[in-house]
């Protein structure tokens, strides 16, 4: 049985994961509006991944005999100054999510909830990948600059995500 403190914290994390998906979908829309379809595709795949994360938590709560209570999701930003600004926001957001996952893990430790700790280890590992990916794109965009052939080539590369 899932304890109330952990259940409430996971319900909050479900909201956070759904917001992440909503944010990345907004970023995808921004890229589509700016004729950067490869970047848009990458963000759309990212949005779908965040939805999967929310559902992982959703199923976990039910598997443990808990109750999911969905909370309101705030409206995400819709405009950025550049592709670099979008991915800097992405990195910042992923760092925040990492912090939230770590807080949830600390709560599971305090509550001696071993099943939640095991489940959260997957998310801890996932956040390492998320931050690494965002950091690599930020650094590449800094090298490529805001316009030109390098940006187009990068967009093509990002557009291949999930197609391999």
Supply the pLDDT for residue 147. Answer: 66
User: Over the stretch 85-132, which tens digit does the pLDDT of each residue have?
Assistant: 999 999 999 999 999 999 999 999 999 999 999 999 999 999 999 999
Domain count for the chain: 1
In a domain? residue 164: no
Burial class, 148, CB count within 10 angstroms (exposed 0-12 / middle 13-18 / buried 19+) = exposed
CATH no. for residue 98?
A: 1.20.1260.10
Output the pLDDT for position 144.
Answer: 80
Domain-embedded: residue 151: yes
Whether 45 maps to a domain, the answer reads yes
């Amino acid at each position: 049985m899932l304890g109330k403190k952990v259940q409430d914290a996971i319900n909050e994390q479900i909201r956070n994961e759904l917001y992440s998906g909503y944010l990345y979908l907004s970023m995808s829309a921004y890229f589509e509006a700016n004729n950067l379809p490869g970047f848009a595709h990458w963000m759309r795949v990212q949005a779908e991944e965040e939805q999967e994360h929310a559902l992982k938590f959703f199923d976990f709560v039910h598997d443990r005999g808990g109750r999911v209570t969905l909370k309101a999701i705030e409206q995400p930003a819709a405009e950025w100054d550049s592709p670099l600004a979008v991915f800097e926001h992405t990195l910042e957001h992923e760092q925040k999510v990492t912090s939230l996952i770590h807080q949830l893990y600390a709560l599971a430790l305090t509550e001696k909830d071993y099943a939640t700790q095991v489940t959260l280890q997957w998310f801890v590992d996932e956040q390492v990948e998320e931050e690494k990916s965002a950091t690599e794109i930020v650094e590449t965009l800094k090298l490529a600059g805001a316009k030109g052939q390098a940006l187009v080539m990068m967009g093509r590369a990002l557009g291949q995500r999930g197609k391999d």
